[in-house]
Chains A and B, each alone.
Chain A
Amino acid sequence: MGYFSVENLSISFGGIKAVDNISFSVEKNEIFSIIGPNGSGKTTIFNLISGIYKPDDGAVIMEGENLVGKTPDRIAKKGIARTFQNIELFANATVMDNLMLGRHIHMNTGIFTGAFMFGKRSPAAREEVEHREKVEKIIDFLELQSVRDQFVGSLAYGKRKLVEVGRALALEPKVMLLDEPSAGMNTEEKDDLTIWIKDIREDYQMTILLIEHDMNMIMGISDRVFAMQQGKKITLGPPQEVQKHPEVIKAYLGEEGIS
């Protein structure tokens, strides 16, 4: 058993088995990619892991503990952070505040301590400054300095995707789930993102689960690739092998073919 694993995970929606008896095990510090045609159940796996859906059957195990049945906020506190395919940011808050929200689980200021934030030396102000420093590092790392104080609702799509990655990073999770982070980005932005994901793995000692449609990116950064179709596993292995797997090719030929 690896560092993080899902075991026999299943869920159906009105008779359709969106995720059907899926098992895999991820090593610490690995970049583990999940691919599959549209509607194959990739996002649903993330929703099961992060506690948004409760599986009909199966387990999500991290460091020996089963996370199934815990609420999403408990799972976040256990060290799992994620981004969403369709971006779930706090649109009427600034980039800074979105990232500060990523620090939520690491902060202790209660409502009374917060209310008495008078002067630099108050406990609330000290904690704010301490966490702002951490967030500022993320802002520098993802090159968000220019949009630091803008409302995320007003940002370009690619930038918003990046803010979401930053927010997940701010949680300092052990495992990060990225759901199509490069969707809607141009080539240049995608190249940057590829480098950053590698850096995140190195610098933050992170374990990353990645859902992607961009094959170049998948081939470039994955340690292993898990291919699935209609809720079921096709194959699991190193990217080059998975890419050549006849059933994977077949599954993708239905769409646009694999590049």
Chain B
Amino acid sequence: MDMKRSYYEDIELFKSGVILFWTIVFLLVLFTFPLYMSDYALYLLNLIMVYVIVSVGLNILVGSTGQISLGHAGFFAIGAYATVLLMTNLQIPFFIAIIAAAFIAAFFGFILGLPALRLEGPYLTIATLAFGLAIMHVIGHTEFFGGRQGLMAPPLDLGIPQLGWSFVLSSETSKYYLVLIITILMVLFAINILKTKAGRAFVAIRDSDIAAEVIGINLTMYKTLSFAVSAFYAGIGGGLFAFVLGFFDPFTFNLILSIIFIVMIVVGGLGSVMGSITGAALITYLMYDLFKNVNEAPYVGPLFVAFSERWMTITGMDNFNYIALGLVMIGIMLFEPLGMFGAWIRIKKYWKTWPF
């Protein structure tokens, strides 16, 4: 009888009470972390969330629309630099600065998306790669951007200091809550975008651009829009990243970072928001924590160190980091091409029928 409701169920944020329940539990746990976690752990979580934002956006471009970008470190850098420079040079309040920075990144995304209409596959990827490198080098060679020395983030003031209203976040805990709330919002936005007109159009272009066109999808508009949206996400991520690190230089945003973003979504699962989140969390943890400290591990650690000193370059331990990441990615591609999200779907299916 109540037909309308049943159609709404299709698009509801939480398809069932069970999902809603576990989401709330998960969020509650996230909100209690600062009560018992060290500052270092919170710093790590902040990094994870920043990368979650970037991955979710990148996955809209790569997973949903089917266009590969190896230049996302560039948008990420634009977000970080623009936010900080707008705040320090023009005294613009944080929230306005970060949103403006994201729009600047989105504008660059739009520009970079234009060749996407002519360039296909690998050619487009190379264009994005060139963009990422160009951004890094332009920043590195421009005094205004702090050059090679890099930039220092100003105090994270959420108020409007000109009006005498200041609200400075200095502790790791307070930053954690800010990043957490913004991350939750960005994730929810992405879920909604993918469920409405634009998101469906992205998927349509990925699956069959010819069919997309004959049902009235403007390829120019949606391909560039997809670039802009994903650059916007990288911009927001970059703006937060600046404050999580406190200090950054152009080489933070190198090609390796762009590749790591891709690894995150491939490992997590292309085209899935949940995949982006798990992929970003896992890879960030591996990179910044587990692999970094591998030399301190009993038995294996000293072995690695010895091997590294004997056979590898000076930055020996970092090499292991990338080798390990590469192996994780190869492993995922071999055993679970759909990423962690694919594995999760299979496990869910398995338990659904268990024990019958």
CB within 8 Å of B: which residues of A? 50-52, 71-73, 75-77, 81-82, 84, 88-93, 96-97, 100-102, 104-105, 107-111, 113-118, 120, 124-125, 128-129, 132-133, 136, 167, 171
Contact = CB atoms under 8 A, between A and B. Distances in A.
Contacts of A76: 213-216
Contacts of B198: 109-111, 114
6 contacts: A52-B210, A101-B204, A118-B188, A125-B11, A133-B4, A171-B216
Given A97-B203, A105-B215, A88 B197 contact: no
A109 B215 contact: no
Interface of B: 3-4, 7-8, 10-11, 13, 188-190, 192-193, 195-201, 203-204, 206-208, 210-219, 225, 229, 271
Contacts of A82: 214
Contacts of A93: 200, 203-204, 207
B215 A104 contact: yes
Contact of A133 (B7, B199, B271): B7
Contact of B211 (A88, A114, A115): A88
A90 B216 contact: no
Question: Majority SS of interface residues in chain B?
Answer: helix
B7 A132 contact: yes
A16 to B, nearest CB: 22
B200 A101 contact: yes
Contacts of A73: 213-219
B192 A115 contact: yes
Contact of B214 (A72, A108, A136): A72
A128 B210 contact: no
Contact of B201 (A71, A101, A120): A101
A89 B7 contact: no
A114 B192 contact: yes
Nearest to B3: A133
B7 A136 contact: yes
Contacts of B11: 117, 125, 128-129, 132
A150 to B, nearest CB: 14
Given A101-B200, A102-B215, 9 more contacts: A52-B214, A76-B213, A88-B208, A90-B212, A104-B216, A116-B189, A117-B196, A118-B188, A133-B3
Contacts of A115: 189-190, 192-193
Contacts of B210: 52, 72, 88
Given A93-B203, A125-B11, A133-B7, A84 B211 contact: yes
A129 B4 contact: yes
Nearest to B203: A93
A111 B193 contact: yes
A99 to B, nearest CB: 10
Given A52-B214, A73-B213, A104-B216, A114 B193 contact: yes
Nearest to B232: A111
A51 B218 CA distance: 13
Contacts of A113: 196
Contacts of A96: 10
List 4 tightest A-B contacts by C-beta distance, closest first: A114-B196, A76-B216, A88-B211, A105-B216
A120 B214 CA distance: 31
Given A89-B208, A114-B192, A72 B200 contact: no
B214 A81 contact: yes
Contacts of A75: 214
A50 B3 CA distance: 36
A46 B5 CA distance: 40
B196 A109 contact: yes
Contacts of B189: 115-116
Contacts of B207: 89-93
Contacts of A88: 208, 210-211, 214
B192 A90 contact: no
Contacts of A120: 8
Contacts of B199: 114
A165 to B, nearest CB: 13
A129 B195 CA distance: 12
Contacts of B219: 73
A208 B200 CA distance: 27
A109 B197 contact: yes
Nearest to B199: A114
Nearest to A133: B7
B122 to A, nearest CB: 22
Given A100-B200, A114-B197, A132-B10, A124 B192 contact: yes
Contacts of A102: 215
A113 B7 CA distance: 19
Q: Pick from A90, A96, A128 the residue with the most CB of B within 10 Å.
A: A90
Contact of B225 (A51, A77, A111): A111
Contacts of B213: 51-52, 71-73, 76
Contacts of B203: 90, 92-93, 97
A97 B193 CA distance: 14
B196 A128 contact: yes
A124 B211 contact: no
Nearest to B195: A117
Contacts of A111: 193, 198, 225, 229
Contacts of B196: 109, 113-114, 117, 124, 128
